[in-house]
Structure 1
Amino acid sequence: MTDQDHSNLHPDDPETTGHEWDGIREFNNPLPRWWLWCLYATILWGVAYTIAYPAWPMISGATPGLLGYSTRAEVAGEIDRYDALNADLRAELAQVDLTSVTQEGTPDLYNFAIQSGGATFATWCSQCHGRGAAGVQASGYPSLLDDDWLWGGTVEDIHLTIAHGIRNEEDPDARWSEMTAFEGILSDEEIDEVVHYVLSVSEQEADADLAMAGEAVFLDNCAACHGDTGAGDRILGAPNLTDRIWLYGGSPEAIEETVRHARFGVMPPWSGRLSEAETRATAIYVHSRGGGE
């Protein structure tokens, strides 16, 4: 209750709070008893909660609470429950022929592989290849959605790549290829010529005279891996240069950088980090994204 005129105060009115705002004074009425009891109850409930459940932060953790409740343990229990439910599917996936896992032939196993592989991909692979598996353009992280595969795009090829990785020193079975850095081997003029030849075979704008001269340079120095036509060789991991899909960029500057200094992207092996079922599920998931052969 408020009162704007001091002269209107009645002798029986309660005392005011002693504060005044623009001539307005507020009565110092007591709070309702029910409200106070609710306040006291919530205080007591809060104290009891901090005693019963984890609450107070400590140096290396929090007070555990008398009930020993843990959200982490609850989540772990749910994970264990679903692991038990899917144990048969996981065991089957770890041993089955990958080419036999199809939507039509083994729908339950296929759907499990897609869901499991998608979750594994989002956790471990999306940091490089992107959440949608589209890669990062001109960065060395390839798109997995197209049909351009350095080492082959069958589900078995993809599984082998995931399991052992590429050009790493951890796994003796890693995919391995290494391009020669031609800085110091070819002259600047020859590098310029072969760059324009590569531009021409990928049907990009190029200097015709330089490209003509660059063909001989290419055949002498590059065709052993990329083939006489530049179509690449999956056995060697040599990319196709005749399309317009470029792992590190297809501009004249990017191609020159590649010719001069080479590229050496590394992918870690996942066979020691993921279970066989998880590796196979990820291969099936990647194969299903549209670029698998």
Structure 2
Amino acid sequence: MDAAEQALATITGATEIVPVDAEPAPALVLRDIRKSFGDLQALDGISLEVPVGSFYGLVGPNGAGKTTTLSIIAGLLRADSGAISIAGVDAAAKPLAAKRLMGVLPDRFRTFDRLTGRQLLYYYGTLRGLPPAEVDRRTTDLARAFDLTESLGRVVSDYSAGMSKKIMLAGALIHSPRVLVLDEPFEAVDPVSSAAILDILQAYVAHGGTVILSSHGMELVERVCSRVAVIVAGALVAEGTVDEVRGEGSLEERFVELVGGAGELEGLEWLHTFSD
């Protein structure tokens, strides 16, 4: 059993995330979610249904509403209208119960970076109600899986961007959530660490967990996601399996087509001559 498998065996053991015979409630349901910031309509009636045990990609250009959508799912923002359920739990009626089912890695995350990595994971684990001995065991397994064992004694403010991303992802996993909400989980992470993270997430999904992530990496989304949604200017413009959304071409080609293609180049002729 490799490090990723051992970590997943540990964190999924407590909640026994396994496929069941009865048809489960969807991992996530959004119904007509709307959100405005002043005069800006950030989300204009987003509706999604994410099956249990799926790797779900949320893509769109900068400013399209991806982070707003994920923040509302995670309970970090409140929608102006619409309904959300997490694994059958109404997030408005039972917000704490819904949040217990999730692990979250937000964009532009801030954390208690004057703690060491070990202290931070201890905080996350005990905050989620795990006994200290169980937190220690899971910390050891997650640190091994994320190649952070030698760094647990260092304060998180001294971590690189990639290491910070990994310790935050370990914190999101430590309580064995049913749904992971990840905003750009591979940004600033080196290829070796990315492969390790992907192994952990794929094993998590294989055991019945659900990953909902945003990414600008179309090749990654096309390779690992089972379903994908494309958001442009706060509206859902395409949704379905990766094959359904990409059609005959690549997902990146379809994405460019949906978003509207390249910018206007007229007027940049001066760039073709060089200063002395």
Report TM bin, short chain: under 0.3
More strand by share: 2
Greater relative CO (CA pairs within 8 A, separation 6+): 2
More helix by share: 1
